[in-house]
């Protein structure tokens, strides 16, 4: 068990990039392989030793998560809470809804449309042991065109993150920031300092760059496949195909 680390699984959004599949459901309830998408996020956290999780969702289909997940005991959770985001305000705003749930613990934030071939347990264990600061999971991406749609870290000569650039025209590295963000409890003091971006949302990249600026950020480069099943219709089917062939969250 990762003592003192709680999980926040973000399952909101309109799912517009997967329309019309999301016309009558939340994208995180769509199937990946033979299971609903959100199952994989819960499994990743539970296999990493996280036993208390909050699911943050919104929209007209929020009640379906309660019907699917119930109290979370069938998934290996000791405690499963829910929060409702009443408008699309960004990932950082959604995280803010979990402040009272997380309290003074550390938090593993995961976007529920992110699917990992290999277990993230080792990263969660390293995070639980580090003295302070945040930790990110990076993935190697070979295609510059793909990187231009992601958050990309710039690294110095010693491999430390200098800054994270969102959707860069000229990607500063061949890595992207995946949708797992590991934060200390003081993240909830950072959130109120953020300014909305041009799209009117509180951006998680600004949170990550706060920890870059204070020199309190570590990272792991994951092994195996990583996919954002909510990125596009093509990405959704690519993740489906990979999971059907290779599975997910494997040790």
CA 103/CA 53 separation, integer angstroms: 13
Low-confidence ranges of the chain (pLDDT < 50): none
- pLDDT value of residue 3: 64
- pLDDT value of residue 202: 87
- Residue pair 226/11 in contact by the 8 Å Cβ criterion: no
At a CB cut-off of 8 Å and minimum separation 6, what does 126 contact?
135, 218, 220
- pLDDT value of residue 184: 97
CA 213/CA 31 separation, integer angstroms: 39
- pLDDT value of residue 198: 81
Please name the fold of domain 5-246. Answer: Spore Coat Polysaccharide Biosynthesis Protein SpsA; Chain A (3.90.550)
The ranges assigned to domains in the chain are 5-246
The enclosing H or E element of 207 equals helix 204-213
The 10 Å CB-count burial string (b at 16+, else e) for 73-109 is eebebeebbbbebeebbbbbbbbbbbbebbeeebbbb
- Strands of the chain (E only): list them: 5-10, 31-32, 35-36, 52-58, 79-85, 106-111, 114-116, 134-140, 151-155, 161-166, 175-183, 217-221, 226-228
- pLDDT value of residue 200: 80
Altogether, the residues listed in the chain come to a count of 251
Q: Report residue 44 as tokens.
A: 């990743």
Q: How far is CA 206 from CA 113, 123, 132, 215, in A?
A: 21, 22, 18, 14
- Residue pair 88/12 in contact by the 8 Å Cβ criterion: yes
pTM recorded for the entire structure: 0.96
Closest Cα to residue 162, out of 171, 148, 176, 172?
A: 172
């Amino acid at each position: 068990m990762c003592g003192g680390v709680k999980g926040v699984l973000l399952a909101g959004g309109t799912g517009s990039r997967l329309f019309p599949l999301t016309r009558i459901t939340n994208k995180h309830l769509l199937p990946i392989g033979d299971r609903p998408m959100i199952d994989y996020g819960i499994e990743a956290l539970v296999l990493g030793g996280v036993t208390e999780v909050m699911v943050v969702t919104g929209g007209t289909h929020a009640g379906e998560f309660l019907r699917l997940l119930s109290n979370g005991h069938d998934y290996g959770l000791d405690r499963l809470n829910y929060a409702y985001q009443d408008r699309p305000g960004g990932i950082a705003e959604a995280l803010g809804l979990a402040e009272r749930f997380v309290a003074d613990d550390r938090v593993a934030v995961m976007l529920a449309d992110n699917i990992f071939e290999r277990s993230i347990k080792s990263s969660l264990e390293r995070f639980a042991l580090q003295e302070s600061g945040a930790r990110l999971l990076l993935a190697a991406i070979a295609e510059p065109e793909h990187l231009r749609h992601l958050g990309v870290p710039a690294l110095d000569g010693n491999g430390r993150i200098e800054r994270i650039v969102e959707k860069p025209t000229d990607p500063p590295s061949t890595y992207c920031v995946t949708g797992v963000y590991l934060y200390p409890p003081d993240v909830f003091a950072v959130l109120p300092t953020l300014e909305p971006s041009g799209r009117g949302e509180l951006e998680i990249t600004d949170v990550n760059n706060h920890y870059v600026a204070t020199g309190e950020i570590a990272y792991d480069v994951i092994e195996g496949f990583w996919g954002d099943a909510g990125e596009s219709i093509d990405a959704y089917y690519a993740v489906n195909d990979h999971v059907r062939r290779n599975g997910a969250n494997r040790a």
